[in-house]
Structures are given as structure tokens and as C-alpha cells.
Copies of this chain bind each other. A is one copy, B any other.
């Protein structure tokens, strides 16, 4: 099988992990999880059955990825980002709510697209998609879909600019935008950014 590294204190219950991926101290990866190659999963992470993680993903310490979360290639998850999968959570052990947890209709998904970044302590309310290369600021609460390349901050999340694939802020010039650091060029059409 593939060659991945797991710290001696980590619990890894799936074999579907790509080559070069490293899983650090006190992390717990359940069965029925798929993780790509060359990823880094920090200390004290929990990855629940059903989660899908692409290649080259960086998951910082203390993250809890629940069933329904999918991270595409190259995503960055800062320390202690909060994923959710239930819009109206109750203890399923409570008599009044049991009917809601008899099927999986309560479960909503979260998709984080290629190259996007989630800042430390961000809260991602489920049933939303983070567009590719978007950047969610530290402590931000995401309650709706985030467009590709958007930089969002605050509670609830509001957009304050655009970011490059390399992560730095774009400079806008009418219908064009560019990265002052790496030089990549973009177009801005109908409030959406895409590479030229």
C-alpha cells in the first residue's frame, strides 16, 4: 500500500491514505476516510468516517472534520476551524428529536474547493461551498457560499477583496486584476474573478 507516516500516538483506522501524507500526535482518523497524497494532518485532529481529502492539503492542529466535509486539492485548514453538518443540531439521544435522526436527512455537506484557505477558528456553517482559492479570515463565520478567489472576514462573513492563487491580495483595475507579488493576471466579470 501507500507509504504514509503516522505518529506513534495517532490512531489511523483507514488504509486509503496517499503516499507522503503525515499524521501527527494524538490525531484520530476513522475508517471509511479517504486522504490524498502529500498531506499534513496536525496534532489533535479528528477525521470522521465519510470525509474526503484531496492531495497536498494542509490541516493544522486541532481540526475536527465531520462526515459530509470534502476538501479538494491544496486546501489549507488553519488551526481549530469549525466544521458542522447539522443546521439545527439536537442531542439525538433526546426523545423529542429521535425522529429527525432516523434517516440522514439532517446531514448537510460542506465542500472546500481547490486551493482555498480557512483561517484559524473560522466557523463553516454546513450546506455551503467555499469557492476555489477563496480565503476565509481568522474567526470568520461563514453562513453562505463563498465565491472563488474571494477574501471574506467577520461574523457573518462579508467580502472585502480578492486574493491570488498564491494567497496575496489582488489589485483591481476595472475589469482586470493582478497579483503584485507573483504577477498572475485575472479578469473581473459580473462580480466574479477568474484567471486570464
The answer to whether B78 touches A167 (Cβ under 8 A) is no
Interface readout for A156-193 with B: 1 if CB under 8 Å, 0 if not? 10000001111111000000000001101000000000
In the complex, A61→B26 CA distance in Å? 13
- Are B93 and A38 in contact (CB-based, < 8 A)? yes
Report whether over half of chain A's contact residues are helix, strand or loop; otherwise say mixed: loop
Q: Which residues of the partner chain B approach A74 to less than 8 Å between Cβ atoms?
A: 90-91, 93-95
Contact with B along A33-58 (1 / 0, CB 8 A): 00000111011101000000001111
Contact of A94 among B93, B115, B120, B139 (CB under 8 A): B115
Is B182's CB under 8 angstroms from A88's CB? no
10 A-B pairs closest in CB distance:
A123-B139, A74-B94, A56-B93, A90-B167, A82-B121, A139-B141, A58-B91, A96-B165, A82-B120, A88-B167
Residues of chain A at the chain B interface (Cβ within 8 Å)? 9, 11, 25-26, 28, 38-40, 42-44, 46, 55-58, 60-62, 64, 66, 73-76, 78-80, 82-84, 88-97, 99-100, 115, 117, 119-121, 123, 125, 135, 138-139, 141, 154-156, 163-169, 181-182, 184
Other than the known A74-B90, A78-B89, A121-B121, what 9 A-B pairs have Cβ atoms closer than 8 Å? A26-B28, A46-B61, A76-B91, A76-B94, A82-B139, A83-B120, A94-B115, A97-B165, A139-B155
